[in-house]
Structure 1
Amino acid sequence: MKQVEIYTTPTCGFCMMAKRLLGTKGITFTEIDVAGDPDKRAAMTQRANGGRTVPQIFVGDTHVGGCDDLMALERMGKLDPLLAD
């Protein structure tokens, strides 16, 4: 399974929903909290091609986007193939 990274803040409802979906699928992920850390947020924004909102989700080298994008992949049956090695 590819590495999953999710940039979050502690009070973000969309972050919680994205993490819940990943958790229910048994997917382990690395969470990067960008709250109060301008360097981490700048790195997230650069990596996400200008995306400044959280969550920003990456599967391997693929930028998935935010929570809505993750949920759409799941609904279309495209999340599992993306996660597979």
Structure 2
Amino acid sequence: MAKPDNVVCEDGVCHIDFSKNKKAAASSSSQSDVSKQVEDAIAKHKVLIYSKTYCPYCDKAKALLKSKNVNYEIIELDTVKDGEKMHAHLKELSGQTTVPNIYINGKHIGGCSDLIELDQSGELDKLLQ
């Protein structure tokens, strides 16, 4: 899938340049419904990655977890209904504007570079037990 024009990938992260963002189609879900959906997903899944299908850093994070035979849930923000609203709520929760946005055991651990650092320090294996 081709990367949209409003996406910038640099220094290990991909983010949306909202100045280039096209108006999204109106969504029927309220922000509070979307916020609850995001928070419920974080609580439900041991390992959850909010991702975008075209993001190379998301692919790298998924590959690392796959190499460890970890079961994880992926929510591709560019393919799900209300993905932009979810992304906005994730920013409120974590302060992170980029993907991948990774949660383990309900705790925000960061993005791809954070996941790699946890792996290199041995902390990732402890979190995944």
Q: Give the TM interval when normalised to the shorter protein.
A: 0.7 to 0.9
TM-score (norm. length: structure 2)? 0.59
Tell me the distance in 1 between the aligned counterparts of 2:75 and 2:117. 22
Relative contact order, CA 8 A, sep 6+: which one is greater? 1
1:11 to 54, 78, 81: 54
Tell me the distance in 1 between the aligned counterparts of 2:109 and 2:61. 11
Kindly tell me the number of residue pairs found equivalent between the two proteins.
82
Uncovered stretches (5+) of structure 2, i.e. residues with no partner: 1-44
Which residue in 2 is equivalent to 1:73? Answer: 118
Uncovered stretches (5+) of structure 1, i.e. residues with no partner: none
TM-score (norm. length: structure 1)? 0.88
Runs of 4+ in 1 over 3 A off after TM superposition: none
Pairwise CA RMSD: 1.4
Q: Secondary structure at the match of 2:98?
A: coil
What one-letter code is carried by the residue in structure 1 that aligns with 2:124? L
Query: For each residue in 1:4-28, what CA deviation from the matched residue of structure 2 results, as whole angstroms up to 9, or x when unmatched?
Result: 0001001100000000000010001
Which residue in 2 is equivalent to 1:23? Answer: 66
Tell me the distance in 1 between the aligned counterparts of 2:78 and 2:97. 12
Q: Secondary structure at the match of 1:64?
A: strand
Query: For each residue in 1:26-85, what CA deviation from the matched residue of structure 2 results, as whole angstroms up to 9, or x when unmatched?
Result: 00111111126222212222232x21100010001211100000000100111011112x
What one-letter code is carried by the residue in structure 2 that aligns with 1:29? Y
Percent of aligned positions that are identical: 35
Q: Secondary structure at the match of 1:52?
A: coil
